[in-house]
Structure 1
Amino acid sequence: MNILDDLKLQYRLGGIAMRVIYWNIACFIVSLIFFYQFSIGQFAFPSWLALSSDPQVFMYKPWTFLTYAFFHDGFFHLLFNMMVLNFASTLFLTYFTQKQYLGLYILSAIFAGIAFALGFYFSNISASIVGASAAIMSILVAVTTYSPLMGVRLFLFGNVKLWHITAVILVLDLMQFRLDNTGGHISHLAGALFGFIYIKLLQNGTDLSIIVSKTLDFFANLFRKSPTTPFKKVHKNYKKPTERSTSRIVTKDKTQQQIDEILDKISQSGYDCLTKEEKEFLFKAGK
């Protein structure tokens, strides 16, 4: 199995967190091809992707309140964000569902984008931003709000509490607020605020992520073909061969059992622990 097949399999089995990381990486590759200006060594994102604080721009391109959260202005910007996203995602999905994860990512990006646009508009400043930092901060703060005393083992630092890590990141954002990238820091803090609000509402019985889940389900059902029931001939005296039916069920059960065993192995030790044969078996089974 080649590298491309390996990546496809990880995408299928990695869950929503892995897919969001893949989406961010894919968007970065696209931006390198189409929006990177090698002559000046900078990205020039178009107004229909980056989020602008100018009402004359975002009023006619409202989708930019979401698209900006999948593009990054540099390799290290992407690398750091994806490292923190992977860390925060693992912790968040320990307690919450994948639908809640995707809902929080999308809603927090929109909320942070609105906060950025309003902040710069009332400051009479015109600028644009890209980056997933606000959504990532929301996921990190959400899981910290839910379980602040969770123990996390860090290289060189040993065991620390989750709230210590989140507090340091928030303090660093506050310290840089007036120095550079003010718009970015506004969106980061807005994302953190949304993550806190989301958990508090969830603990009171209100799950905001349902908004995203129902919207996605609506569009999925809209484009999904309704199942048609084919015409069947009924023969009263017909009897299915018992042996063939039993054999087919046994074969299916053995295959499913092998898939379940491999998935259990992934959940315990990670995808990299699989042998080459197990990876190829999963890839063929997923086709």
Structure 2
Amino acid sequence: MNILDDLKLQYKLGGVAMRVIYWNIACFLISLIFFYKFSIGQFDFPNWIALSSDPQVFMFKPWTFLTYAFFHFGFMHLLFNMLVLNFASNLFLTFFTQKQYLGLYILGAIFSGVVFALSFYFLNISAPIVGASAAIMAILVGVTTYQPLMNVRLLLIGNVKLWHITAVILILDLMQLRLENMGGHISHLAGAFFGFIFIKLLQNGTDLSIIISRILDFFANLFRKSPTTPFTKVHKNYKKPTEKPASRIVTKDKTQQQIDEILDKISQSGYDCLTKEEKEFLFKAGK
């Protein structure tokens, strides 16, 4: 199995968190090809991708309230965000579903984008913004709100409470609010606030992620081909179909059992713990 097949398998089996990370990386690679200006040494994102605080722009490009959350201004910007996202995702998915995770990521990005646009509009500042930080803060603060006293082991530091990590990040955002990248810090704090509200509503029985789930299901059903029922001619000399040989069912059960055992191994120890033979088996079974 080559590296490309390995990446495809990780994308297929890694769940929604891994796919969100892949989407961010893919968008960064695309932006390197189309939006990086070597003459000025930085990215120049068009206003149909980056979120602008100018109402004359974002009112006619409402999708930018989401697209901005998948692009980054540089490699280090992407790297730091994906490290924090991976950390927060693993914690969040310990307690909540993948649909709730995706719903919080998307809604957190949209809410933060709205707060950023309105804040800069009233401050009479016109500037664009890109980055997944706000959506990531929604995920991190969300799981911190639910389990603030969870012990997290950090390299060179040891065990700390989850709320300690989140508090440090929020304090840094507050300290830098009036400095460079004010729009970014405003969106971070907005994402944190939304993550807190999302979990409190969820604890009271209101799951906002249902909004995103229903929208995605609607578009999925829209583009999914409806199964056609061909006309079947009825014969009087109908014969009961013979059952398939038992040996085929046993073979299928053994294959499925092996797949289940490998998936259990992934959930307990991660994808990297698989042997080369197990990875190849999963890849062939997924075709």
Q: TM-score, normalised on structure 1? A: 0.97
- Residue 198 of structure 1 corresponds to 198
User: May I ask how many residue pairs the two structures share in their alignment?
Assistant: 286
Note the C-alpha offset of 1:231: 4.1
Distance in 1 of aligned mates of 2:229 and 2:263: 33
- The DSSP-based 3-state class of the residue aligned with 2:245 is helix
- Residue 218 of structure 1 corresponds to 218
Greater shift after overlay, 246-255 or 98-107?
A: 246-255
Distance in 2 of aligned mates of 1:274 and 1:224: 34
Amino acid at match of 1:284: K
- Residue 45 of structure 1 corresponds to 45
For the pair 1:238 / 2:239, whether they are aligned, the reply is yes
Amino acid at match of 1:119: S
- The DSSP-based 3-state class of the residue aligned with 1:268 is helix
Greater than 6 Å deviation, 4+ residue runs: none
Distance in 2 of aligned mates of 1:168 and 1:99: 28
- The DSSP-based 3-state class of the residue aligned with 1:60 is coil
- The DSSP-based 3-state class of the residue aligned with 1:152 is strand
Amino acid at match of 1:282: L
For the pair 1:148 / 2:148, whether they are aligned, the reply is yes
Amino acid at match of 1:238: K
Amino acid at match of 1:214: R
Distance in 2 of aligned mates of 1:173 and 1:237: 74
Distance in 2 of aligned mates of 1:49 and 1:43: 12
- Residue 20 of structure 1 corresponds to 20
Distance in 1 of aligned mates of 2:41 and 2:170: 30
Superposed CA offset, 1:2-25 (max 9, x none):
000000000000000000000000
| Mapping of residues 64-75 of structure 1, within 5 Å | 64-75=64-75
Note the C-alpha offset of 1:233: 5.5
- The DSSP-based 3-state class of the residue aligned with 1:138 is helix
Superposed CA offset, 1:49-95 (max 9, x none):
00000001101100000000000000000000000000000000000
Distance in 1 of aligned mates of 2:221 and 2:28: 30
Amino acid at match of 2:53: S
Unmatched segments (≥5 aa) in structure 2: none
Distance in 1 of aligned mates of 2:119 and 2:228: 52
Amino acid at match of 2:282: L
- Percent sequence identity over matched residues? 84
Distance in 2 of aligned mates of 1:131 and 1:273: 32
Superposed CA offset, 1:250-286 (max 9, x none):
1111110010011011111110111111111101111
Note the C-alpha offset of 1:240: 4.1
Amino acid at match of 2:82: M
Distance in 2 of aligned mates of 1:59 and 1:67: 14
Distance in 1 of aligned mates of 2:263 and 2:238: 43
- Residue 7 of structure 1 corresponds to 7
C-alpha RMSD of the superposition: 1.2
- Residue 76 of structure 1 corresponds to 76
- Residue 179 of structure 2 corresponds to 179
- Residue 118 of structure 1 corresponds to 118
Note the C-alpha offset of 1:239: 4.4
For the pair 1:279 / 2:282, whether they are aligned, the reply is no
Distance in 2 of aligned mates of 1:204 and 1:74: 40
